[in-house]
C-alpha cells in the first residue's frame, strides 16, 4: 500500500532485541504481514528511558491501580523515571496521529491486560493489572484501537482491531479532504458496519451529518467502532444483502449463501469465510456497488488470508 495508517508497536515485536535478556521475540505476522499495510512506529519504554540491554528484570509491585516499577534484584525504584518518560512520549506520539497500537503481552510497561502486580512483602503476585505505559496510553487515548500480540491469534479481536484502524484512518482522510469520498459517501458505504453494532447510534450519525455536526460525527464513529459487532445484527445485514442480489444470482448460489449465513449465525464459520464468499459472488456477477461497501471491505482482506487465525 502506498498510503498506510500509522500504528504504534512494542519494538520487540518487530525484531528489536530490546528485551531485558536480549531475547528475540519478533512476531512474524506483525513483521511480515502488517508491516506491508501499516506504517509501524516502534516504541520500547525500558530502552527509551535509558535502561541497557541486557538488564535485570523489572516488575510491578504494590497497589493494582498505582503500582511501582521495581528492579527485581537491585530493588531500585524506576517508577519516577518511567513516568517522566511516559509523559514526554505521549506528547511525541500525539504529533504522529496514530490509528492504533500493538502492545507486548505480560510486559510491566506494555502489557494491556493480565500483567502481574506483586505483593510488597515479596510473596506471590497480588492481582493482574496493566503495564505503566499501556495504562497511561489507554487513559490518554481511550478510543484508539489497541491490542496485545497474543490477541492477534483470535479472529474476532484481530478483525475488530483492523476494522477500527482502517475505518478511523479512512475517516480522518475524508475529514482532511485527502480521500476520494466525501462524508456522505463514506457514511453510505459504512452504514451496515454501524447498524451491526448499534442501530440507534447509526440513526444518530445520520442526524449529525444532516445538521453538519461533523466533529461530533467523527468522535461518535470512533466510539461506535469500539463496540464489537453483534452477531444477530450482522446476520440481519447479511440477509439484507442476500435479498438485494436475489434477482441476480441463481437459486443454487442463493441457497448456498443462505446456508452460509445460518452457519455463521450458529458460530460454525467466522465472518472472513462469509465475506470472501459474498465478495466472490459480487465480483463474478458484477455487483460492484455491494463489493465496495465497508461491511465487506473495511480493510484489506489479504491481511487475514496471510494470518493464521
CA gap 306, 30 in Å, rounded: 11
pLDDT score at 307:
66
Q: Which residues pair with 8 in a beta bridge?
A: 41, 101
* 22: phi then psi, degrees, rounded to nearest 5: 75, 5
CA gap 268, 254 in Å, rounded: 19
Reference 147, options 30, 49, 69, 269; nearest CA is 30
309 residues of the chain, pLDDT tens digit each: 678 999 999 999 999 999 989 888 999 999 999 999 999 999 999 999 999 999 999 999 998 889 999 999 999 999 999 999 999 999 999 999 999 999 999 999 999 999 999 988 766 777 889 999 999 999 999 999 999 999 999 999 999 999 999 999 999 999 888 777 889 999 999 999 999 999 999 999 999 999 999 999 999 999 999 999 999 999 999 999 999 888 888 899 999 999 999 999 999 999 999 999 999 888 776 566 777 899 999 999 899 876 655
For residue 137, give the 3-state DSSP assignment.
helix
The answer for residues whose C-beta is within 8 angstroms of residue 241's C-beta and 6 or more apart is: 192, 278, 290, 293, 295
CA gap 40, 295 in Å, rounded: 25
pLDDT score at 59:
94
Task: Enter the C-alpha cell of residue 69.
Answer: 516499577
Helix and strand numbers (H, E) in the chain are 15, 8
Amino acid at each position: 500500500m502506498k498510503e498506510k495508517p500509522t500504528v504504534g508497536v512494542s519494538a520487540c515485536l518487530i525484531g528489536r532485541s530490546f528485551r531485558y535478556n536480549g531475547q528475540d521475540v519478533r512476531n512474524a505476522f506483525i513483521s511480515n504481514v502488517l508491516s506491508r499495510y501499516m506504517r509501524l512506529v516502534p516504541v520500547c519504554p525500558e530502552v527509551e528511558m535509558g535502561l541497557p540491554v541486557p538488564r535485570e528484570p523489572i516488575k510491578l509491585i504494590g497497589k493494582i491501580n498505582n503500582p511501582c516499577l521495581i528492579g527485581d534484584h537491585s530493588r531500585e525504584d524506576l517508577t519516577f523515571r518511567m513516568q517522566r518518560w511516559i509523559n514526554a512520549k505521549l506528547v511525541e506520539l500525539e504529533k504522529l496521529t496514530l490509528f492504533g497500537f500493538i502492545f507486548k503481552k505480560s510486559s510491566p510497561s506494555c502489557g494491556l491486560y493480565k500483567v502481574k502486580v506483586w505483593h510488597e512483602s515479596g510473596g506471590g503476585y497480588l492481582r493482574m493489572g496493566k503495564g505503566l505505559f499501556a495504562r497511561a496510553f489507554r487513559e490518554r487515548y481511550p478510543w484508539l484501537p489497541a491490542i496485545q500480540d497474543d490477541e492477534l491469534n483470535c479472529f474476532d479481536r484481530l478483525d475488530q482491531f483492523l476494522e477500527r484502524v482502517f475505518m478511523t484512518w479512512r475517516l480522518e482522510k475524508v475529514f482532511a479532504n485527502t480521500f476520494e469520498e466525501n462524508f456522505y459517501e463514506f457514511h453510505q458505504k459504512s452504514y451496515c458496519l454501524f447498524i451491526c453494532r448499534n442501530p440507534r447510534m447509526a440513526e444518530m450519525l445520520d442526524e449529525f451529518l444532516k445538521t453538519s455536526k461533523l466533529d461530533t460525527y467523527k468522535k461518535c464513529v470512533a466510539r461506535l467502532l469500539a463496540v464489537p459487532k453483534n452477531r444477530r445484527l450482522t446476520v440481519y445485514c447479511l440477509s439484507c444483502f442476500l435479498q438485494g442480489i436475489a434477482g441476480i444470482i441463481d437459486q443454487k448460489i442463493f441457497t448456498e449463501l443462505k446456508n452460509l449465513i445460518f452457519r455463521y449465525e450458529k458460530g460454525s464459520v467466522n465472518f472472513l469465510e462469509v465475506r470472501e464468499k459474498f465478495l466472490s459472488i459480487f465480483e463474478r456477477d458484477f455487483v460492484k456497488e455491494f463489493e465496495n461497501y465497508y461491511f465487506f471491505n473495511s480493510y484489506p482482506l489479504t491481511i487475514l488470508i496471510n494470518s493464521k487465525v
